[in-house]
Amino acid sequence: MKTTSRRTPRRLAAGLAVGALALAACGSDSNDADESATTEAAAEESSESSGEESAEAGTIVDVAVGAGTFNTLVAAVTAAGLAETLSGEGPFTVFAPTDDAFAALPDGLVDALLLPENEAALTAVLTYHVLGAEVPSSDVAPGDVETLQGESITIGVEDGTVTVNDATVTAVDVEASNGVIHVIDAVLVPPSIDATALLVADAMEEDAMEEEDEAGTIVDVAVGAGSFDTLVAAVTAAGLAETLSGEGPFTVFAPTDEAFAALPDGLVEALLLPENVDVLTAVLTYHVLGAEVPSSDVAPGDVETLEGEDVTIGVEDGTVTVNQATVIAVDVEASNGVIHVIDAVLVPPSIDVSTLL
């Protein structure tokens, strides 16, 4: 990384001030002459020094470090191994969330993103803030723009205010040697990233670590997690709690409460009826393997379940699927096996759940 000039923080502050003034000028029709003159003077001063700044400005990473208001962003970029990339030739446009923007995220989410096992998710979130071209504010136009992460962000421009998805741009055109920074007041999350799942996984991992020497059974861990209430109720109704508290070992693909809630209306209630206990048992055991399979041993292919039919494991670009469900958290340890969390309920091919409705 290049060494930041002593003058960079002062220049960045000036750049932020000019950007804020420019946004304020665009957003209000009632600015008086004195305010207009101040903005124009600041802009002229910035323009006169632009050549010198271009020569001395550090990379995007250098500028972010020197600003002092992007400490969380810098820590995240470093944890994801992106510092070298964003110090490269570029050019880039970075929509940079402030420390306050990161602080507004749900409790524990930043810590979860910074865990080594969530590096892929962190990288996706960060590159979702980056464009592979330099786009100054003068070139910004409403519409969808593809990010380095691959998904698009939506730019909005209304009454002089620029938005990126649900974030507002609060300062513009902070120059760096390899691109430009626009400051935003919220963290952008790609549609493909389930932040809630990261929190669930982090909470479960903490529970597992706390009970490392006396880990409970798969049923105990599921009960303690607080995000598998429907699964636990179903296991109890089917009389499988004793089985899944036994010696094992087992691998359970555990659907969250949200996964059960996504089923057709009335289906969960129907499955829990005493007359449907055989169907419920088949559905539940279709989520269980009769061996402990950590994520490091997962490979594409068909695997037989305790129910007797196979599930199909898919692995593509680091994403693991089980039939049509996506694995959103892995390797939640229990004394008699392991849990992998999935975002949908699996139904055996031999079961026609529509007949229950």
Six-digit token string for 84: 């070298």
Note the pLDDT of residue 338.
Answer: 95
pLDDT confidence band for 190 (50 / 70 / 90): very high
pLDDT confidence band for 52 (50 / 70 / 90): very low
E strand map for 118-248: 130-131, 143-146, 152-158, 161-164, 167-176, 179-184
Contact 305, 283 (CB under 8 A): no
Q: What is the mean pLDDT of the chain?
A: 82
- Region of residue 173 (phi > 0: left; psi between -120 and 50: alpha; otherwise: beta): left
- 3-class DSSP assignment, residue 311: strand
Beta carbons within 8 Å of 127's beta carbon, 6+ residues apart? 82, 147, 148, 149
Note the pLDDT of residue 136.
Answer: 95
Return the CATH architecture of domain 195-356. Answer: Roll (2.30)
Q: Count Cβ atoms below 10 Å from residue 101 Cβ, excluding itself.
A: 21
Within this chain, domains 8-184 and 195-356 share the same CATH topology: yes
pLDDT digits (tens, 9 = 90+) for 128-179: 999 999 999 999 999 999 999 999 999 999 988 999 999 999 999 999 999 9
Q: Is the pLDDT of residue 23 over 70?
A: no
| pTM beyond cutoff 0.95 | no
d(CA 137, CA 91): 15
Rounded mean pLDDT of 203-218? 63
Note the pLDDT of residue 20.
Answer: 34
Domain 8-184 belongs in CATH node 3.30.70.20: no
Helices vs strands, H then E, count in the chain? 15, 14
| Domains of the chain by residue range | 8-184, 195-356
Q: Count Cβ atoms below 10 Å from residue 139 Cβ, excluding itself.
A: 9
Rounded mean pLDDT of 17-40? 35
Q: For the chain, what percent of residues have pLDDT higher than 70? A: 80
d(CA 206, CA 65): 31
Query: How is the beta sheet containing 179-184 ordered, strand by strand?
Result: 130-131, 92-97, 179-184, 167-176, 161-164, 152-158, 143-146
Rounded mean pLDDT of 214-228? 85
pLDDT confidence band for 206 (50 / 70 / 90): low
Note the pLDDT of residue 202.
Answer: 61
pLDDT digits (tens, 9 = 90+) for 77-106: 999 999 999 999 989 999 999 999 999 988
